[in-house]
Amino acid sequence: MRKGQGNVIIATIFAALFLAFVLPLATHLYTSYTANIKTPYSQALADVVIQVAQRASEQVLAIYNESNTVLYILNYRGKPLDIERLIVTVSCIEGVRVASLKPQEVSIPSGQQKVLNLSQAVALVLQGCTKPNTTAFYIVTQQGTVIPAEVISLRIVQELQTEAGTGFLTRVGGGEKIVTALPIPIKSADQLWNISLLQAKGFTIATLDSMTSPAILTPDSTLVSSSGMRSAGFSWRLVRVTSGSITVNIGTVYNLWFGYDPRNTSKYNIMFTTTGYSPCSSTTLSKVKIYGFRSSLTQGVLQISNKWVKEPSQDVANYTFKNTNLYLTGTADRIEIYCRDGSGEVSYNPYTMLMNTVRSEGFAGLLFTTIDRSYRASLSSVPDGDTSRLDYSSKPFALVYNYSISSKQYTAVAIAVNYRFHDAEGLDADGVKSDLPIMLVGLAYRDGNVFRVYSYRSFTFRELTRYEDTYPPTAQAQSAVVFIPLPQGVDREFHVFIAFQDPYNYVQSGSYYYDCVDFTLYVENLSILPFR
């Protein structure tokens, strides 16, 4: 081998080693570097940020009261809540406004609550806004979180407003309206003493063909003039109507019902029963109805059992079965004296009174009572002491409210009724052989001259007597909501009705008497909630 050949071999080995090790190394470097570049791009991170922001809104309780423009915030998210601004959406007749408010206090530590009064800031936003309605409220934090606040409004419980043109009382709330049939709106010139007044307040006075299985409501105005109520013996006879000064000072008053005069709540409506009230004869059961009474004494309205009564009780049975002395003196707009010496059928007028047990001027509830004298505690006696004083209905008294609910426009109706009931049957449900309806609430539609009952809910004696105590007298406040879906595909105008009656005269079985219930029913409220 020559000397130069060895060098060439060395050079070849060197080149081979270089190609075998260095080049792959460099290539590996390149691929591994570029592979490392492919770090997962974290799209999910943004989602996490937003999720955290959204979770924050669940840990903050915010309520905005539209009525007094106060924002309540309770922060319990474990870190301070730094408010940057408040975003309010207000809907006006002129259009929608989206406003940005800067509150004074901006940081609320965790576990604390703040009340922010925004009256000044909101007043600026509401300038030139007709019928403002806050539709949405948001808190924007410095971290970019958007926290919705619950908006509450007192519109629902605000004053009743008359629907334009119709005269019906409606309230707009929760997207739907509430139509109030009872209490009825009363003006100062209204003649409360005749329940025919109800006809001028949007009601049709009618009677039902049957209270146990009602089908037809027939308008019947004689219920307020001459018919509807009977008694086993004598009937009520109106003997005197006066006005002006009155003084009652009697040793025994049996029952007394009393409320505010809806025309003027500084006056009172009073009804009481006694014996021998002039001009009734000395042994004749008497009933006195006093409208618009104003006491001339400052101690109270009237004195019963030598104790002054300053205001009516919401429990209408509070002054029932008293058998004690009564004293009152003052002036009255109208005094009616009834003697129990008439005969034949009479109207519902002697049994009813429009009054109010709460001081809300301009609104009246309806009181109906057949209690005259006393309750009974055993089957061998009768309430009111004598079968001749037991009253009962010959025709149910029904009120059909003229407000019509179209099945085209609405899918269902909820009828809410608030009432009080008190009876003179000390044995309650055990004193009756048959359970009969006292009150009905339902829907009817017009068919020619009559109304046909579409659906109803009955309130029978056994149900009503469960929630009262005959003695000591207690008429519990009771209420019910009757939900009636409307027929679809039929174009019909429905009307809400309420009907009541005293179905019980008496049944004698040996020395025992059954079905001789007399009672008091006071309907405070009848509201209609149509659903779209």
Nearer to other proteins, 34 or 449 (CB): 34
* Cβ at position 154, least distance to other proteins in Å: 23
Structure tokens at 259: 């409320």
CB 461 within 8 A of CB 412: no
CB 352 within 8 A of CB 367: yes
Q: What is the DSSP string of 221-276?
A: GGGGTT-SEEESS-EEEEEEEEEEEEEEEEEEE-EEEEEEETTEEEEEEEEEEEES
Nearer to other proteins, 43 or 247 (CB): 43
Count of other CB atoms within 10 angstroms of residue 512? 12
CB 470 within 8 A of CB 423: yes
Task: Assign 3-class secondary structure to 118-184.
Answer: CHHHHHHHCCCCCCCEEEEEEEEECCCCEEECEEECCCCCCCCEECCCCCCEEEEECCEEEEEEECE
d(CA 492, CA 487): 9
Nearer to other proteins, 132 or 219 (CB): 132
* Cβ at position 60, least distance to other proteins in Å: 15
Residue with tokens 């309010």: 88
Q: How far, in Å, are 72, 443, 484 from residue 454 at the CA level? A: 47, 5, 9
Nearest Cα to Cα of residue 258 among 273, 246, 244 = 273
Count of other CB atoms within 10 angstroms of residue 48? 10
* Cβ at position 31, least distance to other proteins in Å: 10
Nearer to other proteins, 6 or 279 (CB): 6
* Cβ at position 133, least distance to other proteins in Å: 12
Nearer to other proteins, 18 or 483 (CB): 18
CB within 8 A of 221, min separation 6: which ones? 196, 199, 205
d(CA 383, CA 102): 70
* Cβ at position 59, least distance to other proteins in Å: 16
* Cβ at position 140, least distance to other proteins in Å: 6
Nearer to other proteins, 89 or 476 (CB): 89
What's the N-to-C CA distance of the chain in angstroms? Answer: 112
d(CA 109, CA 113): 8
Nearer to other proteins, 94 or 176 (CB): 94
Nearer to other proteins, 29 or 297 (CB): 29
Element (H, E) at 485: strand 477-485
* Cβ at position 105, least distance to other proteins in Å: 17
* Cβ at position 18, least distance to other proteins in Å: 7
* Cβ at position 146, least distance to other proteins in Å: 5
Nearer to other proteins, 145 or 527 (CB): 145
Nearer to other proteins, 14 or 512 (CB): 14
Q: Look up residue 154 and give its amino acid.
A: L
List interacting residues with other proteins (CB under 8 A). Answer: 2-4, 7-8, 11, 14-15, 18, 22-23, 26, 29-30, 33-34, 36-43, 45-46, 49-50, 53, 84-85, 87, 89, 91, 95-101, 121, 124-125, 127, 136, 138, 140, 142-146
Q: Look up residue 506 and give its amino acid.
A: Y
* Cβ at position 469, least distance to other proteins in Å: 55
Structure tokens at 167: 């005269």
